[in-house]
Amino acid sequence: MTTVAVAFVVFLLAFLVIGTLSYRRSRGTTADYYLASTAIRPSFVGLSAVATNNSGYMFIGVIGYTYATGLAAIWLMLGWIAGDLIGSLIVHQHLRRSAEYNRELTFAGALARWTGVEYRKLRVVAALLTIVFLGAYTAAQLSAGGKALHSMFGWSEGAGAMLVAAVVAVYCFAGGIRASIWTDVAQAVVMMVAMGLLLWVAVDGLGGWQASWNRLDAIPNYMNWFPEALIVPGAAGMLLFVVGWMFAGLSAIGQPHVAIRFMALDRPERMWQARFWYYGFFTIFYAMATGVGLLSRIYLPELGALDPELALPTMAQDLLPPVLVGLVLAGIFAATMSTADSLVLSCSASLTHDLPRRPMSSTWIAKGATLAITGFALAIALAKTQSVFSLVILAWSTLAAAFVPLLLVYVRGHRPSELHALLMILVGVGTALAWRALGLHEQIYEGLPGILAGWQTFYLPPRRASRSGLQAEDLPAAER
């Protein structure tokens, strides 16, 4: 076995051990399996959420996008983080309190019972959307792992996808969301070290920061601050482009696998601490990923004619000694697994807790559903239908268009009827998918029109909604 393979296997086994050890803390209930008994400290919530968010999409998709786009890709980073923070400030603390007050274990359940009344049809629709689109999202993570192994070891991409699926299934089966969160924290550290190491070596190999910038600036139009082709030319077009990516960041509040981390926080009033860990790590990591994506254009000029999404693993193999190549490969796998396990558990929760009229309380059924969802996602990954970047954005934008408008209405204290809430979801999802079908998503993120259309639907007649000044979920537990 080569040194690269040994280093990779060591890290992989470490993640497995951490995940399976979480079984010792299990309370043997579905509440513990899906929500860790709402006993997770802020640092773990923040690091787990950011590791889940910064998935194989970041290592593979964003770096490939930056390779092809150039410096203008930085607006994706700035817009995304700004929108993500705005959404968190508006929604997450309300979501945590609402879920606790209504004793809900799933994101779909929190939406369905936010008003204090069970919206059964809304729960089912939200669960189906979660299973379909997070299943596709999981497939993207498995595909990212397959691409990394193909580049590093020459394995088939299918074999790499199957390995990721197997590892995720093992520790999700063992410990549920607690295993996912524990391994997320370890994976976050490996992700940061791997990305930082590669950036430092790449810059040093070109003679420092100024020399690296000069080399990049010599590529025609590559270091332009703004995209060349916009639907609307000039400043207005640039504003639309940036706002589009802000809506991509805002979309995080509508992602069940991210939201569930904040729902697992031990106390709602400690949300600001979770945000500190989340956005501190997010900003540093995203900046380094953008830098690696830019520099890969210098080191791998021929990759544009092949597959830009192989930029990071190929670059690591060319620049680093074998042990560190194994570390980078482990970082990529850490990113894919930290998201894949979260996605699988969210789908499993919807399958066992939201779709049946009576939730299934057996943890063995929950674990069986976890294996079934993993198999479903693996089948999509092996079909190789789309790039990692495209598949993630499709799932991300569709779920955002479905759920973000409703959350924004809820936190304002409004109580739409179930029919009206379903109409908001239908209009939002339909708009986002139509925008993509028309090819407009290449210029403006499709979640923007989807979210706006769904939100505006609330204000159209017939409305049949009420608003109260203070909702039960806004009250401290002692006052309820």
* Among 143, 115, 46, 100, residue whose Cα is nearest residue 378: 143
DSSP letters spanning 175-242: HHHHHHHHHHHHHHHHHHHHHHHHHHHHHHHTTSHHHHHHHHHTSTTTT-SS-S--SS-HHHHHHHHH
Label residue 449 by pLDDT band (50, 70, 90): very high
Structural domain includes residue 433 = no
Q: Each residue of 64-109: pLDDT tens digit?
A: 788 888 888 888 888 889 999 999 999 999 999 988 888 888 999 9
Q: How far apart are the first and last CA of the chain?
A: 61
Q: 125 is in which domain, residue-wise?
A: 3-390
What is the per-residue pLDDT for 468?
A: 44
Across-strand partners of 414? 467
Which residues 6+ apart lie within 8 Å of 433 measured at CB? 398, 446
Q: Each residue of 316-356: pLDDT tens digit?
A: 888 888 887 777 777 777 667 777 778 888 888 899 989 98
Q: Each residue of 15-28: pLDDT tens digit?
A: 778 877 777 777 77
Whether 479 shows a pLDDT value over 70: the answer reads no
Average pLDDT over residues 193-198: 86
**% of the chain surpassing 90 pLDDT:** 28
Structural domain includes residue 461 = no
Structural domain includes residue 147 = yes
Q: What is the distance between the alpha carbons of residues 250 and 448, in angstroms, rounded to a whole number?
A: 9
Which one is predicted more confidently, 11 or 457?
457
Task: Tally DSSP H helices, then E strands, for the chain.
Answer: 19, 2
3-state secondary structure 136-149: HHHHHHHHHHHHHH
Structural domain includes residue 459 = no
Q: Which residue has the tokens 């802000």?
A: 246
Label residue 236 by pLDDT band (50, 70, 90): low
Q: Each residue of 357-398: pLDDT tens digit?
A: 888 777 788 888 888 888 888 887 787 655 555 667 788 889
Which residues 6+ apart lie within 8 Å of 431 measured at CB? 401, 449, 450, 453, 454
60 within 8 A of 309, measured Cβ to Cβ = yes
What is the per-residue pLDDT for 401?
A: 95
In degrees rounded to 5, what are phi and psi of residue 258? -85, -45
What is the per-residue pLDDT for 474?
A: 46
Q: What is the distance between the alpha carbons of residues 257 and 88, in angstroms, rounded to a whole number?
A: 14
Q: Each residue of 163-190: pLDDT tens digit?
A: 878 877 877 777 788 888 888 888 788 8
What is the per-residue pLDDT for 304?
A: 59
Asked if omega into 301 is within 30° of 0 (cis), the reply is: no
Label residue 429 by pLDDT band (50, 70, 90): very high
297 within 8 A of 73, measured Cβ to Cβ = no
Total domains present in the chain: 1
Q: What is the distance between the alpha carbons of residues 455 and 407, in angstroms, rounded to a whole number?
A: 9
Whole-number average pLDDT of the chain = 82
Angle, alpha carbons 122-37-40 (nearest 5°)? 110
Structural domain includes residue 479 = no
Structural domain includes residue 63 = yes
Structural domain includes residue 375 = yes
What sign results for the dihedral spanned by CA atoms 367, 144, 384, 9? negative
Domain of 171, CATH number, reads 1.20.1730.10
Average pLDDT over residues 197-214: 91
Structural domain includes residue 419 = no
